[in-house]
Amino acid sequence: MISYMICVCLIVWLAIIQNQVSDLSANVEKIKKYFWEQKSLGLPESKEQTSSPAQMPVSEMPSESIQDVTPEPQPEQTYQESSPEPEFQAEIQESFDLQKALLGNIFNKIGAIAIIVALIIFIKLVSPYIVITPLMKIIFAYFAGLGLIGGGFHLHRKENLKNYAEVMLGTGFADLFITTFCAYTIFDFLNTPAVIAIGTVLLIVTYITADKMKTLSMLIIGLIGAYLTPFCAKAGTHAVLSYIIFINMLSVIFTMRNKSTNWVNIINLFMSMLVFLCYSYGSTMSIVYPLILWGTYIIYDVLREKDNDIDNVVCYINYGILTLFSVIIFKDAYNYLAILLGVTALCYFGLSFYSRKLENNLYRFYEYSAIVNVWLVGFFLLNTFQSAIAWSILALGITYIVQKKNAKHLNGGLIWYYSTAIVAALSAKYAGENCLITAYTPIFNIRTLLFAFPVLSMITSAFVFKKNNLKMYNLLLFSGLSLGYVYLTGEINSILSQTAKDSDMLDFNRGMINIIIGFVYALNTKRLGKTNDSKLFDIAGFIMFGISLLALMICSYFYYDSYIVLFNMKVCAFALGITTCFIFSKWDNTDIYKYLAIILGFLICHSESSQIYAQNSGMEYIISLSWVLYSGISTIAGILRNKKYLINTGIALIILSILRIFIYDLAHVEAIFKLIAFLALGLILMLVSYIYTTHKNKQN
């Protein structure tokens, strides 16, 4: 039974490998029939059957059905054990004959490759020691190849030897390839026109034969010989590269006639790339060869049918090869590289328009390639300042194409162009200095020109997408506004640098202004998030609010002697931060931001009172007094307005004030100041208690 199961598994495996799934059900039915016959023959005979040999069933009917059939008298015959049908038995044996798979298919291909290598060794290493003329060597090698080809054609007539015949044909063609190039390069028997003519004829005959016989084995082995030939023969650079181009030309012709072999183009392209790499680093390779290869497959794209995914892969490989070798060949001449990339970009644009007329989806690939090439032109030719302007203008052009031609697939290229413009604007230099931080004349400067192009371009593109692509609208609007705020920050910092000398106070004021801009940015993005229902703006506003809030809290501990109390940039920053907290609380309908606002008020109160104490050494009580007054006022306001967040925060601050007065002031402050602090604390506590009690009684 185990052997039967192994047979079944092997048959199923072979059927799947050979892509004969449609015949699988028929094979299964035959196997079931075979198993049933074996089972019926192995059953014990009944008494009725053993009593009369004439009643023994001769047909292949199951034993259960025999009881329902009245046997007719039959002549005596010698009983022979039934066996499965000979045809089916032969089919099973042939299906899972592993020896045949190895000896008849795999080994002959390995042998063909071994013969090719042996031929190379013979001609290059062994032949110099054999006393025969070069002409005889070449003739013998040609006869060997022609003999293999003739034998292959003869054996191909027999159905069971076709596979073997195809391998012989491939080996024969490979022999002729190698012999031809050796006659040219080693023995100088053939001149250049002759060897090119013979090689051309051999390649054409190889592909024609493979096309006629619909065989891939011969084609693969023939290609192995074709690619080994120039290397084994040590041909010159131009001969090898021209030969590689010719192989690709024949490949595209063959695959256009045999659509199932499109993968041959991928193999040829990769092999060509490897050959090009060897010759581009070993010697100076002309750009003509990559261009001819590229043009060959461009023509193939135009002429072929467009329903094969493998052909689309060929497009990308072809583009990658041309771009790679363009960069390698012109690595020291960016101007020529930019010109080449620009010309190919124009070709791709033209091909995209032609493909659109044919309603062919390849236009997408051509448009992608053109956009990438234009970007590469700018990358190699323009500096960062020029790039920021160029990418902004080109992105507007892509916006027009996307909207006019409904080319949504180009949105990725549009985002890439604008991203490049943003990076270029932030890193651009003019006269050796970064444009963002240089102290130019306010407004009318090179920085304004630099940032105006990407900001206005992105906002314009955003409003173009507003009606039919809200996601792109929000993304571009967000990017344009964000870059605009960056420009505003740089401009204000530049104005400060020009109106004051460098000092710690200037740096502190610059930091406060940056915090103010951060809060304004957070408010604006949060508002746009509410208006456009965009998470992008919400997240950006929340992040910037958090950064500005943290920076403000840290800066509250810094103060300078020249600061005017209450009339300084720090108070402005805190005031805007508190306002932002209340606005966020209203928009998000939560009291968390209100708690933050009360804490910010306490911090600025402490900071300003500390500033007063630093400027007036006799007012040691001012910090504790400000704490008590602020906490008391917050609590009273919360009681009167019935605001829970004010009451809770006020109580916490009162406790903090009590701890400060009893722990710090009692130990470090003079008696008169202790009196003021404790008196203020007592009065505030009494007042808070009174207001709370009376207010509660009124409510009751």
Q: Any residues with CB less than 8 A from the CB of 36 and at least 6 apart, and which?
A: 62
Residue 307 and residue 248 in one domain: yes
Residue 600 has pLDDT above 80, yes or no: yes
Question: Does residue 683 contact residue 649 with C-beta atoms inside 8 Å?
Answer: no
pLDDT (0 to 100) of residue 119: 59
- pLDDT at residue 543, as a whole number: 94
Mean pLDDT of the 164-170 span: 75
Mark which of 454, 473, 499 sits at the end of a domain: 499
What's the rounded Cα separation, in Å, for the pair 253 and 251?
5
Closest CA to 486 of 454, 509, 508, 462: 454
Measured in whole angstroms, the distance separating CA 158 from the mean position of its chain's CA atoms is 51
For the chain, helix (H) and strand (E) counts, in that order, are: 29, 2
For the chain, percent of residues with pLDDT exceeding 90: 24
Residue with tokens 């809060």: 519
54-112 pLDDT tens trace: 444 444 444 444 344 444 444 444 434 444 444 444 444 444 455 555 555 565 556 65
Read off the pLDDT of residues 650-689 as tens digits, 9 standing for 90 and up: 899 989 988 888 887 777 777 777 777 788 888 888 888 8
User: Is the pLDDT higher at 250 or at 12?
Assistant: 250
The pLDDT value given to residue 504: 72
Specify the pLDDT at position 562: 67
Give the pLDDT of residue 139. 82
Within this chain, do residues 364 and 401 fall inside the same structural domain, yes or no? Answer: no
Alpha-helical (H) ranges within 533-661 are: 535-555, 569-588, 592-615, 622-641, 644-659
CA separation for the pair 353, 358 (Å, rounded): 9
So what's the pLDDT on residue 556? 76
Average pLDDT over residues 288-313: 84
Q: Are residues 412 and 332 in the same domain?
A: no
425 pLDDT higher than 80: yes
Backbone angles phi, psi at 440, to 5 degrees: -80, 175
Averaged over 569-595, what is the pLDDT? 92
- Distance from C-alpha of 480 to C-alpha of 462, rounded to nearest angstrom: 9
Residue 508: is its pLDDT beyond 60?
yes
Question: Which domain-ending residue is among 499, 527, 542?
Answer: 499
Percent of the chain with pLDDT over 70: 75
How many domains, in total, are found in the chain? Answer: 4
* Tokens coding 259: 């659509």
Bridge partner residues of 434 (DSSP): 429
Distance CA 456, CA 443 (A): 16
Question: For residue 12, what pLDDT band results from cuts at 50, 70 and 90?
Answer: very low
Residue 358 sits in the same domain as residue 392 = no
Alpha carbon distances (Å) from 561 to 217, 568, 628: 91, 12, 25
697 against 382, higher pLDDT = 382
- pLDDT-derived band at 505 (thresholds 50, 70, 90) equals confident
DSSP secondary structure letters along 10-25 = HHHHHHHHTT-GGGHH
In this structure, are residues 653 and 631 in contact, taking their beta carbons and an 8 Å threshold? Answer: yes
> 203: buried, middle or exposed (CB in 10 Å: 19+, 13-18, 0-12)?
buried
Confidence of residue 444 (pLDDT cuts 50, 70, 90): confident
| In a shared domain, residues 210 and 320 | yes
Q: 354 vs 692, which has greater pLDDT?
A: 354
Q: Does residue 460 form part of some domain?
A: yes
Note the pLDDT of residue 430: 78
Query: Do 154 and 174 belong together in one domain?
Result: yes
Range of the domain at 10: 1-41
CA separation, residue 694 to residues 480, 634, 691, 697 (Å): 56, 17, 5, 5
Task: Give residue-wise pLDDT tens across range 533-567.
Answer: 888 999 999 999 999 999 988 887 776 666 778 88
Question: Is residue 21 over pLDDT 50?
Answer: no
Instruction: Identify the band that residue 23 occupies on the pLDDT scale cut at 50, 70 and 90.
Output: very low
In a domain, 606, yes or no: no
- One-letter-per-residue 3-state SS of 170-189: HHHHHHHHHHHHHHHHCCCC
More confident of the two residues 452 and 696: 452
Q: What does the pLDDT read at residue 60?
A: 42
Is residue 567 one of the residues assigned to a domain?
Answer: no
SS3 state at 56: coil
Position 59 scores a pLDDT of: 41
Confidence of residue 280 (pLDDT cuts 50, 70, 90): confident
Q: How far apart are alpha carbons 629 and 631 in whole angstroms?
A: 6
Within a domain: 68: no
Instruction: Enter the tokens of residue 30.
Output: 């035959």
Band of residue 120 on the pLDDT scale cut at 50, 70, 90: low
Other CB atoms within a 10 A radius of the CB of residue 4 amount to 12
- pLDDT of amino acid 232: 60
Is the domain of 479 the same as that of 336?
A: no
Residues 242 and 112 in one domain: yes
Give the model's pLDDT for residue 510: 84
Q: Are residues 219 and 325 in the same domain?
A: yes
Q: Calculate the alpha carbon distances from 50 to 45, 46, 77, 349 in Å.
A: 6, 6, 15, 89
**C-alpha angle 396-399-404 in degrees, rounded to nearest 5:** 130
Q: Given this model, what pLDDT does residue 625 score?
A: 87
Within-domain flag for 663: yes
If you average pLDDT over each of 97-101, 437-441, 457-461, 654-658, which comes out highest?
Answer: 457-461
Which pair of tokens denotes residue 641?
A: 């307005």
Q: Mark whether 265 and 358 lie in a shared domain.
A: yes
- With cut-offs at 50, 70 and 90, classify the pLDDT of residue 24: very low
Same domain assignment for residues 376 and 414: no
For the record, the structure tokens of 329 come out as: 């060949």
450, 472, 499 - which closes a domain: 499
Confidence of residue 27 (pLDDT cuts 50, 70, 90): very low
Please tell me the chain's helix, strand, coil percentages from 3-state DSSP, rounded to the nearest 5: 80, 0, 20
* Comparison of pLDDT for 394 and 496, the residue scoring more: 394
Domain check: are 357 and 457 in the same one? no
Q: Which pair of structure tokens corresponds to residue 300?
A: 């193939």
**Would you say residue 226 lies in a domain?**
yes
- Specify the length of the chain in residues: 700
Query: What does pTM read for this prediction?
Result: 0.67
Span 257-278, average pLDDT: 85
Distance between CA 265 and CA 76 in Å, rounded? 70
SS3 label, residue 45: coil
Better pLDDT: 183 or 453 = 453
Q: Answer whether residue 127 is part of any domain.
A: yes
Per the listing, tokens 């309603």 go with: 359
Residue 103 placed within a domain: no
> Backbone dihedral region of 406: left (phi > 0), alpha (psi from -120 to 50 degrees) or beta?
left
Phi, psi of 434 (to 5 degrees): -65, 125
Output the pLDDT for position 596: 93
